């Protein structure tokens, strides 16, 4: 019984993304779950580490971020946080949620010794999602804007639909002289930069 449980647990070690919960192992071996947990903890002396969802960042993106951080150590450090308005866009994916309580990785030793790939729950490629845009600042937050399904978020859509509303919230939430901040998304092109420069008192540029 101990060997069977140990074989199933250890078979996941070099196969990221294949971790199986003690409940599923118990069902597979037709054992009681508490018996499997006792074997894993007492006999095999393994510890459970929770897996977490995360974006997979390529080496080229890491290098780009590293170079940008050296060029612009802290662009917002010159300004008071009370004057910043930060634009954010986020995808809310419709995947089945991850059960962090049961979806664990069993391993001996410390969590820092576990292959990081085993601790990550990768999102399904091209998963269905809802894209939402919003702005936040010290004085409050703007309303949420849901991007139409299959709409291409380019410079034209950004300038014609999102920016006018976001800047309106800036003016209502912040005192004159606010600073508009955005990330380096492709839609934040020269067209958007020119629009912001014309309609905002100050802003942090796309490459900053």
Average pLDDT over the chain, rounded to whole?
A: 77
Average pLDDT over residues 157-176: 84
38-43 long-range Cβ contacts below 8 angstroms, 24+ apart: 39/1, 39/2, 39/5, 39/6, 40/5, 40/9, 40/106, 43/2, 43/6
Q: Output the pTM of the full model.
A: 0.48
Lowest-confidence segment of 53-57, 100-104, 150-154 by average pLDDT: 100-104
pLDDT at 46 over 70: yes
CA distance 174 to 74: 22
CATH of region 2-54+98-121: 1.10.10
Confidence of residue 158 (pLDDT cuts 50, 70, 90): confident
The two structure tokens encoding residue 187 = 């839609």
CATH of region 76-96+124-204, choose from 3.40.50.300, 3.30.450.20, 3.40.190.10, 3.30.420.10: 3.30.420.10
């Amino acid at each position: 019984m101990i060997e069977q449980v140990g074989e199933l647990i250890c078979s996941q070690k070099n196969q990221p993304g294949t971790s199986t919960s003690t409940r599923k192992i118990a069902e597979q071996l037709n054992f009681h779950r508490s018996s499997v947990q006792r074997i894993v903890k007492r006999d095999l002396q393994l510890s459970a580490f929770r897996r977490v969802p995360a974006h997979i960042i390529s080496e080229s993106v890491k290098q780009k971020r590293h170079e940008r951080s050296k060029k612009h150590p802290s662009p917002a450090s010159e300004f008071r946080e009370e004057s910043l308005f930060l634009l954010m866009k986020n995808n809310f994916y419709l995947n089945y949620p991850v059960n962090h309580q049961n979806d664990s990785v069993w391993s001996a030793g410390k969590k820092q010794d576990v292959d990081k790939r085993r601790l990550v729950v990768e999102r399904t490629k091209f998963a269905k999602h809802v894209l939402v845009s919003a702005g936040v600042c010290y004085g409050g937050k703007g309303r949420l804007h849901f991007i139409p399904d299959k709409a291409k978020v380019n410079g034209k859509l950004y300038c014609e639909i999102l920016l006018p509303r976001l800047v309106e919230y800036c003016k209502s939430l912040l005192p004159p002289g606010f600073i508009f901040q955005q990330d380096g998304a492709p839609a934040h092109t020269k067209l958007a930069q020119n629009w912001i420069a014309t309609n905002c008192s100050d802003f942090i540029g796309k490459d900053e």
